[in-house]
Amino acid sequence: MRSIRFATVALATVALALPLATGSAAAGPSAGEKAAPHSNAKSERLRSVAPEGFVVGTAVAGGGHHLEQDYPDPFTYDKEYRKVLGHQFSSVSPENQMKWDYIHPERDRYDFAQADAIVEFAKRNKQVVRGHTLLWHSQNPAWLEEGDFSKEELRTILREHVTTVVGRYAGKIQQWDVANEIFDDQGNLRTQDNIWIRELGPGIVADVFRWVHEIDPKAKLFFNDYNVESVNAKSDAYYTLIQDLLEQGVPVHGFSVQGHLSTRYGFPGDLEDNLSRFDALGLETAVTELDVRMDVPEGGVPTKAQERQQADYYQRTLEACLAVDGCNSFTIWGFTDKYSWVPVFFEGEGFANVMTDDYKRKPAFYALRDTLKEAAREDDCKKHHKH
């Protein structure tokens, strides 16, 4: 377990939150100093202040709900967005651009343009990539879900998709979300709404892990889900399944919690304990899709208290990951409210990201920055003591 002194970070975060709560970015790295709203000094970059070997990532906006909005593709056309994306983060996750309905829109046609562009962007900016996702019950194309396929045909379609997509990016993906959201909240396998499990049986999950590992043996292969931050029926189901798969020699390397949180609910205080039990199985762990939505207040401007609570949730999630040895990947699901998925899917909630629509940094951003800085200092102290 990492030993990190977070008390000073918490105090610094509260202090920073107060002047920022109205949306102003006039806070700085230390008392009396002020950073410009878009300062790109290394001391203001999440990727630069993080401990060695710890990657800080974000989803890359595009596809999905963005296609129905009144703005062009963010990654392609928003220069400020790309600038922040490159400066602040050491890991990127295609938000929708590697999902089935986007990358495989017709049975005999793939659309790799956006995924290729993201992978190339990551290479230029010295970032790693999380692949998302291969086996899921959602965002599958109509030709697949509505097709009249035999079991043999479906298995062939799935294996061909995995071979094509994983093969194209082999050696360029650090972690793959191989199986996404395969259990419901009661811990039951999705045997009805997941076409692959329904038609091919539960064993298909292990098969896909094996196929991916054969094609890209260097990639770390993950189960990924929401509402598994705590020790509960759903995370228990993953724990049991993964134990069984490991005993069978299936190449499962990681378990990740998405972290779609809301200030309507309490913080999952046993997050560290939950990550630790998967770590004890020899797995890597990760936070992969963190955002913290809040109720949109009257007048449409978050209160100081709301922003402080949001910052607290972001900070505590990061602290939990940092406290577990094998949790070395921490991803937020977008960084600007401008392109957030939350208002589209959660009526009455929003402001879930660490920057405003115009890229001003919220208290949540500084909470992450200061927590990463403190963790890096602790790591440095340990190294010096060893010598």
The answer to whether the beta carbons of residues 376 and 51 sit under 8 Å apart is: yes
Quote the DSSP letter at residue 110: -
What's the gap between Cα 232 and its chain centre?
20
CA angle 265/271/275 to nearest 5° reads 150
The answer to whether the beta carbons of residues 89 and 44 sit under 8 Å apart is: no
Active site residues: 181, 289
Q: Rounded to an integer, what distance in angstroms lies between the CA atom of residue 115 and that of residue 291?
A: 23
Rounding to the nearest 10 degrees, give the CA dihedral for residues 63, 358, 37, 355. Answer: -50
Handedness of CA 276, 281, 282, 287 (dihedral sign): negative
DSSP class per residue in 42-54: GGG-HHHHSPTT-
Give me 21's structure tokens.
């709560």
Residue holding tokens 């920055």?
A: 369
Give me 369's structure tokens.
């920055």
Strands 220-225, 260-262: pairing kind: unpaired
DSSP class per residue in 231-293: SSHHHHHHHHHHHHHHHTT----EEEE--EEETTS---TTHHHHHHHHHTTT-EEEEEEEEEE
Quote the DSSP letter at residue 325: T
